[in-house]
Structure 1
Amino acid sequence: MNRYVKDKVVFWLFLAPALLSFLLVVIIPFFMGLYYSFTDWTAVAGMKANFVGIKNYTSMFSDFAFRYSFIRTFLFTLLSVISINMVSLTLAFLVTREIKFKNFYRAGFFIPNLIGGLVLGYIWQFIFKSVVPAIGALLGIDFIEQLLILAEPNLTLFGLIFAFTWQYAGYIMMIYIAALLNVPQELLEASEIDGANFWQKLINITVPMIAQAFTITSFLTLVNSFKQYDIIIALTNGGPSDIYMDKIVNSTELLAVHIYNVAFKYNNMAEGQARAIVFFVVLSFISIGQVYYNKKREVEM
């Protein structure tokens, strides 16, 4: 056996466990789910799944709750992507300056990302329900004391965005820090000599130089915002209820929560699977489009 063949055998031997795991855990279940989405599968032992065609897909788009969850998911994702990236970039600028304890600040900002979503949701539930009214009472401000963030539908959505930003901004900050540290200081110093202020340096030098980081962070925040589930379950469990177009809806039942409820709460496994397939297709289309657009912008910059 020559060296080339030996290296190939070793390569595939080391790669085989990961490929096998990916095949068994991702690829095969995906195609099984695709098949079940065209049946009346209930996951009940002994009951045969019957082929029903596109019935699950047609009923999905006629379901008002599904359409509403789509709208709320897009709104949550848009606001979360903007919020997380703005906060992360601001923190990255802060901890890359020559300030005392900057490494301490980096660690402090990153720590919330290590907290699980369920735990984080219960933490913020306690803060919104107990701490915020207590602060309002202490300061004698009736508006803050009577502020029920988790009881008003629109405020609840912003509360979710706030909690998600608090958790995820530290992780995205680390990506921006790596990008900012790679910006040549010579360019910034030369621009200062030419009289450029902070905003001119930011727009004309820093932003184009960290364009690749924007592509990565936008993709990560977009995908994770779309898939958000655990924080919602712990913080609001899909509530509170609201009236939208004369129908009762759950104001924070985003797509991931909606799909789970359809499949497991209402035991419509096949219909839930069909909605998950549509969710996958939409998320793939949007994320690939976002990466393509950002890569194109990188070249233009």
Structure 2
Amino acid sequence: MHNKNRTMTTMAGKTIRKWWALFSLPTLAAFVIGFVVPFIMGIWLSLCRFTTVTDAKFIGFGNYSAALADAEFWHALWYTIAFTIITTVIVNVAAFAIAVMLTKAIRGANIFRSVFFMPNLIGGIILGYIWMLLLNGVLQHWGKSITFSGTYGFWGMVILMCWQQIGYMMIIYIAGLQSMPGDVLEAASVDGASRTQTLFRITLPLMMPSITVCTFLSVTNGFKMFDQNLALTNGAPSNTSELVALNIYRTFYGRAGFEGVGQAKAVIFFIIVAIIAVIQNKLTTSKEVSA
């Protein structure tokens, strides 16, 4: 029986090695058509003046000069960076704390996990309108609204983002905590380590793979947020609560003849986010330890 299973496994391995290209072709074709080709075309169009992809005329780096000279783009960029830093810290600290609490033997832990995760299942546009109603209901007591100033819009988006993302990151942290080696924690307890020492010297170092994933997701989600921004404030007042994704959208679709500038902004934004994501990933990965 053992030899028969080994023979079948060997035959399956030979078949996979022979036909692997055929099986991977659909996925590769979808990746090329859905990502590589549009990405290359996007870079080309950022160097052109166009209204559709068929009438593009090469103009060099003029679109990039116009994009970098746009004061609203720089405001949106710094606004987005501040938003991403704050939400990344709050989301991960809160998610980790809740995960630690819910991995302990408490009554109704599974129910609480479901409740915290549920906001992540709601679409961003719907969340934006829900929170606009809630925040305006609070602010109306002072005669204000969520679109009264960019500051209100900023903190409104922070609340929305954290409320939506904490539950998702909590699930990842719970998985990491449950996979930690129990003997290491027991050894620390026997050696007389306090809870604070156990947290900072054992738990957090062993949780770095989960922290790497969660911080990466938080950073990318913060930078690319669009639909919540559109629904909650739509950039009001006077585009001061506008994140970069919304600024690119408004430039591309809201200003005739500026399609190339909007595309150039998108390329610049991609480069910035890619560099930040790589640096963040390197920093957190370098702190990972093996159990």
The TM-score, its normalising length taken from structure 2, stands at 0.90
CA offsets per residue over residues 99-143 of structure 1, 9 Å max, x none? Answer: 00000001111110000000111111111112x258xxxxxxxxx
TM-aligned CA distance change 1:93 to 1:146, over 3 Å: farther
In 2, distance between residues paired with 1:64 and 1:175? 39
TM-aligned CA distance change 1:239 to 1:133, over 3 Å: closer
In 2, distance between residues paired with 1:60 and 1:206? 45
Partner of 1:180: 177
Partner of 2:4: none
How far has the Cα of 1:57 moved from its partner? 0.6
TM-aligned CA distance change 1:59 to 1:7, over 3 Å: same
The CA RMSD over aligned residues, in Å, is 2.1
* Match status 1:120 vs 2:117: no
* Match status 1:295 vs 2:280: no
Kept in 2, the 8 Å contact 1:128–1:150? The answer is no
In 2, distance between residues paired with 1:165 and 1:12? 43
Partner of 1:166: 163
Partner of 1:237: 234
Partner of 1:96: 103
Paired residue for 2:254, among 265, 283, 287?
Answer: 265
Partner of 1:62: 69
Q: Which moved more, 1:84-93 or 1:184-193?
A: 184-193
Q: Which amino acid aligns with 2:115?
A: G
Paired residue for 1:18, among 27, 47, 50?
Answer: 27
Q: Which moved more, 1:193-202 or 1:104-113?
A: 193-202
Paired residue for 1:110, among 81, 98, 117?
Answer: 117
TM-aligned CA distance change 1:3 to 1:78, over 3 Å: closer
How far has the Cα of 1:96 moved from its partner? 0.5
TM-aligned CA distance change 1:51 to 1:129, over 3 Å: same
* Match status 1:256 vs 2:245: yes
Partner of 1:283: 273
TM-aligned CA distance change 1:14 to 1:89, over 3 Å: same
The aligned length equals 280
In 2, distance between residues paired with 1:153 and 1:105? 34
1:173-252 equivalences in 2 (<5 Å): 173-241=170-238, 250-252=239-241
Partner of 1:27: 36
The TM-score, its normalising length taken from structure 1, stands at 0.87
In 1, distance between residues paired with 2:15 and 2:108? 51
In 2, distance between residues paired with 1:287 and 1:218? 9
CA offsets per residue over residues 227-261 of structure 1, 9 Å max, x none? Answer: 000100111111223xxxxxxxx222111000000
Partner of 1:137: none
What residue ranges of structure 1 are gaps of 5+ in the alignment? 135-143, 242-249
How far has the Cα of 1:189 moved from its partner? 3.0
Kept in 1, the 8 Å contact 2:154–2:241? The answer is yes
Paired residue for 1:78, among 76, 80, 85?
Answer: 85
TM-aligned CA distance change 1:72 to 1:190, over 3 Å: same
In 1, distance between residues paired with 2:139 and 2:251? 35
Kept in 1, the 8 Å contact 2:132–2:146? The answer is no
Question: Equivalent residue of 1:183, what SS?
Answer: coil
How far has the Cα of 1:196 moved from its partner? 2.6
TM-aligned CA distance change 1:120 to 1:193, over 3 Å: same
In percent, how many aligned pairs have the same letter? 34
How far has the Cα of 1:300 moved from its partner? 10
Kept in 2, the 8 Å contact 1:96–1:181? The answer is yes
In 2, distance between residues paired with 1:235 and 1:155? 11
Kept in 2, the 8 Å contact 1:150–1:159? The answer is no
Partner of 2:3: none
CA offsets per residue over residues 45-80 of structure 1, 9 Å max, x none? Answer: 7xx322111000111111111111111111111111
In 1, distance between residues paired with 2:52 and 2:180? 54
How far has the Cα of 1:22 moved from its partner? 1.1
